[in-house]
């Protein structure tokens, strides 16, 4: 734990996916709220999406960070701001004349409902 999932609209081009994940991971690890080995991140381009009533002048980058319960409200607010700033500071993509909505969301998972086991091979 935690898990980071980033989705972005297909009208954003040439987004360096791995570079974005590493950039965001670095910022989240720097908070000291997680151990680097516990942060799992992935990204996907949403090929099918609709904004409003099919407004093709807009795109989005939306990040969801799932964390275990027990964080304070201040910590969760801090995480959402750090995540948002990390997304905003990343410029390795092309959006042409789009208006891009950049969003960061913190999701809380109850600790008693999360199970994890590491397997060494």
Rounded to two decimals, what is the model's pTM? 0.92
Structurally, how many domains does the chain consist of? 1
End-to-end CA distance of the chain: 20
The number of beta carbons lying within 10 Å of the beta carbon of residue 63 is 23
Nearest Cα to Cα of residue 22 among 46, 45, 2, 4: 4
Q: Is the pLDDT of residue 95 over 90?
A: yes
CATH of the domain at 8: 3.30.429.10
Taking residues 77-92, what's their average pLDDT? 97
Cβ burial of 57 (10 Å; 0-12, 13-18, 19+) is exposed
Q: What is the pLDDT of residues 49-68, one digit of tens each?
A: 999 998 889 999 999 999 99
Nearest Cα to Cα of residue 28 among 6, 10, 51, 48: 6
Q: How far is C-alpha 75 from the geometric centre of its chain's CA atoms?
A: 16
The answer to whether position 120 is within a domain reads no
- Expressed as residue numbers, the domain containing 8 is 3-112
Q: Is the pLDDT of residue 113 over 90?
A: no
The answer to whether position 105 is within a domain reads yes
The answer to whether position 97 is within a domain reads yes
Q: Is the pLDDT of residue 46 over 90?
A: yes
The answer to whether position 118 is within a domain reads no
The answer to whether position 43 is within a domain reads yes
d(CA 72, CA 46): 32
């Amino acid at each position: 734990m935690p898990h980071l999932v980033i989705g972005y609209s297909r009208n954003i081009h040439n987004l360096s996916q791995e570079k974005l994940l590493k950039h965001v991971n670095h910022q989240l690890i720097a908070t000291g709220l997680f151990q680097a080995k516990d942060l799992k991140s992935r990204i996907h381009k949403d090929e099918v999406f609709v904004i409003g009533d099919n407004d093709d002048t807009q795109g989005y980058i939306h990040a969801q960070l799932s964390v275990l319960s027990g964080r304070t409200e201040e910590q969760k607010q801090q995480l959402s701001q750090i995540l948002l700033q990390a997304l905003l500071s990343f410029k390795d993509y092309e959006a042409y004349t789009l208006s891009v909505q950049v969003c960061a969301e913190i999701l809380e998972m109850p600790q008693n409902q999360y199970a994890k086991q590491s397997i060494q091979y």
